[in-house]
Amino acid sequence: MDVHRCLEKIEELRQNETDLRNKIKNIQKELRTQRLWLQTNCNHEWVYHRECPYDMPDYQCKHCRAFQSLPVRRDT
């Protein structure tokens, strides 16, 4: 392999790397869009997930997996 061909190959690989980074950014953007749509249009059904500090247990939607902290109801 000569030097000229090696430099061409390096440039080609850099371009491929740039293309892949752009594709990753587009995929991440689409994932955010889909998650937002899902959480907005979901018919949430909250189930207890775990206890958190400050008496704010976390609940998770069974359908879209969104989280919500709800205050503990203390019947006294």
Q: Which one has a higher pLDDT value, 29 or 60?
A: 29
Query: Nearest Cα to 72, choosing from 59, 3, 30, 64?
Result: 59
- Domain borders along the chain are 1-41, 43-76
Predicted confidence (pLDDT) per residue in 33-69, tens digit? 999 999 899 998 988 877 666 656 688 889 888 888 7
Q: What is the pLDDT of residue 33?
A: 96
Q: What is the pLDDT of residue 64?
A: 87
Q: What is the mean pLDDT of residues 2-13?
A: 96
Q: Which of 25-51 are b and which e, b meaning 16 or more Cβ less than 10 Å from the residue's Cβ?
A: eeeeeeeeeeeeeeeeeeeeeeeeeee
